[in-house]
Amino acid sequence: MAQGLRFVLFGSPGAGKGTQANLLRDRLNVTHISSGDLFRHHLEQGTPLGLRAKEYMNKGELVPDEVTIGIILDKVMCLPDDEGFILDGFPRNTNQAQELENTLAAGSRNLDKVVHIDVSEPELLRRLGGRFVCRACQAPHAIGEGEDGAAKKCGQCGGELYQRDDDRPEAVKKRIEVYKRETMPVLGFYRERGVLVNIPGDDTVDEVNKQVLAALGA
């Protein structure tokens, strides 16, 4: 089994990184490190870092590097040397990618793969418009057109569902624009290092998961 794998899940907002990360975490027995979840945790705790991150997230903008890099790398490097991890939502630009590479190299820990889930823009807009998350466990849920997501309950824990501010239409379009401008160049960074694999992401969750597992050699 692929225990100990260290990899990044890459893709635009709405590509399904969180859903795939949850499936892969359980299947591969690795730690899921989500930048968004870490920021929201800090917000819930009322820390200055969380409040600052929220200002940018609500506008669909990237959280500045100085806020992001430290918290993510501290989390990564506190893991045991033989423990694998999934990075979800980081790195988001080449500066973050370089900092991650330098930190891992200093600890003799390298990335095994960078998996890019490639989803078409119309599909991204459709998904994000119907995405609600659980307040309790943060599990994502797809709500069909015309359905009232706030009236439904989480399928995992029964918690209340809500739509995040950064999943509302105006913020969604801005997030996709920012992703194209700031984050797409990171693909080239990892392509040069020979660790990038592209997975078509418009298919079903199960089919995408099968392709990701195959790409990871699991």
Q: Count of CB atoms within 10 A of residue 197's CB?
A: 17
| Backbone phi, psi, residue 128, to 5° | -65, -35
Share of the chain above pLDDT 70, in %: 98
List 6, 17, 40, 127, catalytic entry: 17
Q: What is the mean pLDDT of residues 93-115?
A: 90
Q: What is the mean pLDDT of residues 127-138?
A: 86
Tell me: the pLDDT tens digits for 202-216? 999 999 999 999 999
Return the domain boundaries, the chain: 6-211
Tally the residues of the chain: 218
Alpha carbons 136 and 46: distance in angstroms, whole number: 17
Tell me: the pLDDT tens digits for 54-90? 888 788 787 788 888 888 888 888 888 888 999 998 9
List 6, 40, 113, 131, catalytic entry: 131
Q: Is the domain 6-211 a CATH 3.40.50.300 member? A: yes
Q: Residue 201: what pLDDT?
A: 94
Return the axis-axis angle of helices 48-58 and 65-77, rounded to nearest 10°: 120
DSSP label at residue 85: E
Q: Whole-structure pTM over 0.85, yes or no?
A: no
Q: Residue 87: what pLDDT?
A: 95
Q: Is 164 a catalytic residue?
A: yes
The single residue listed with the structure tokens 């307040």 is 135
List 6, 40, 92, 113, catalytic entry: 92
Tell me: the pLDDT tens digits for 6-27? 999 999 888 999 889 999 999 9
List 164, 168, 173, 174, catalytic entry: 164
Q: Is 92 a catalytic residue?
A: yes
Q: Residue 2: what pLDDT?
A: 45
Q: Is 17 a catalytic residue?
A: yes
